[in-house]
Amino acid sequence: MASNVNPTVRRRRLGQELRRLRELKNMTAEEVADRLLVSQSKISRLENGRRSISQRDVRDLCGVYEVADHRVVESLMQMAKESRQQGWWHAFGDIPYSVYIGLETDAASLRVYEPQVVPGLLQTKEYAEAVCEGAQPEASAADIEKRVQVRMRRQERIKDQRHPLRLWAVLDESALRREVGGRQTMVSQLERLNEVSQLPHVTVQVMPFSMGAHPGVNGQYAILEFPEASDSSVVYLEGVTSDLYLEKAQDVQSYSVMYEHLRAEALNPDQTREFIENVAKDYARA
């Protein structure tokens, strides 16, 4: 369940406001960095919400931008203070994709395409363990357990009756055919998929092999949208050592159009449930 103060989202909102103030002064990030004797990359990271921002940073930037309204300065400094608080995921220690978790925790809707495995929000515990062990062969048992616990905690957004996450998932047939954790684990996982897909705020579609080449052949991605109009949508691309977040309107639009093509070409929800049921029967018979 989303907390009242989400530090990741607070950083994004604060960064957007600081960028707006800079642009009102017709200053470049390089000019601001020169004035404050810091690197240009620091200014960029503050504005895109990828770096923690202190109240002193806010005060200095407001000084450069000549913000005269003390109420504005106080509001921004309060946002800076809130952005340094810890989200629920920090209790699990160092999580490599903590920025994404913060965004997902506050998102209103999520559209995801997965070509290889079942999306994390829809995984059973046994399937999640097998995925983490396979994807991180050098990770310790404790680290695997931590990742699985975080994944199970993230699924509370699906179960939240007051503010559930609107989830739309398109899976390639490969995600169903790839035997992860053994046949019984796959049967349970596919049954979970069909069970969750019955929820009014969850839609699951499968892209069968018979469709051939399609708009998702370039790999996994997710599109996050937020309840506040001021929070721009984000495209998330997961990497091995680092992740990519795209927030430019043109990038988000391109991925959104591609996702619409995916949804149109995939099996509809009823056909998908029948398809998943048949794959589960294949595992059960084997």
Distance CA 59, CA 76 (A): 9
Q: What is the pLDDT of residue 250?
A: 94
Is position 73 within any domain?
A: yes
Residue 37's CATH number: 1.10.260.40
Count of CB atoms situated within 10 Å of the CB of 234: 22
Question: Of the candidates 48, 64, 85, which is a domain's last residue?
Answer: 85
H helix or E strand, kind and range, residue 166: strand 166-172
Q: Are 158 and 143 in the same domain?
A: yes
**Quick one: which of 174, 196, 183 has its CA closest to 123?**
196
Q: Are 179 and 270 in the same domain?
A: yes
CB 62 within 8 A of CB 53: no
Q: Are 273 and 162 in the same domain?
A: yes
Question: Of the candidates 25, 56, 85, which is a domain's last residue?
Answer: 85
Domain extent at residue 18: 7-85
β-bridge partners, 119? none
Q: Which residues of 34-67 are buried (b: 16+ CB within 10 A; e: fewer)?
A: eeeeeeeebbbbbbebeeebebebbeebbeebeb
Q: Are 151 and 217 in the same domain?
A: yes
pTM of this prediction exceeds 0.85: no
Q: Are 216 and 106 in the same domain?
A: yes
Q: Are 75 and 129 in the same domain?
A: no
Q: Are 279 and 138 in the same domain?
A: yes
Per DSSP, the three-state class of 111 is strand
Terminal C-alpha separation, the chain: 39
> Which string of DSSP letters, residue by residue, matches 33-48?
HHHHTS-HHHHHHHHT
Q: Are 13 and 26 in the same domain?
A: yes
Count of CB atoms situated within 10 Å of the CB of 79: 21
Strand order in the sheet with 234-237: 202-207, 166-172, 109-114, 221-225, 234-237, 244-246
Tens-digit pLDDT string for the chain (286 aa) = 344 456 777 788 888 889 889 999 999 999 999 999 999 888 988 888 777 788 899 899 999 999 988 888 888 888 888 777 777 777 787 777 788 888 898 899 999 999 999 999 999 999 999 999 999 899 999 999 999 999 999 999 998 888 899 999 999 999 999 999 999 999 999 999 999 999 999 999 999 999 999 988 889 999 999 987 767 899 999 887 778 888 888 999 999 999 999 999 999 999 999 999 999 999 999 7
What total number of domains does the chain contain? Answer: 2
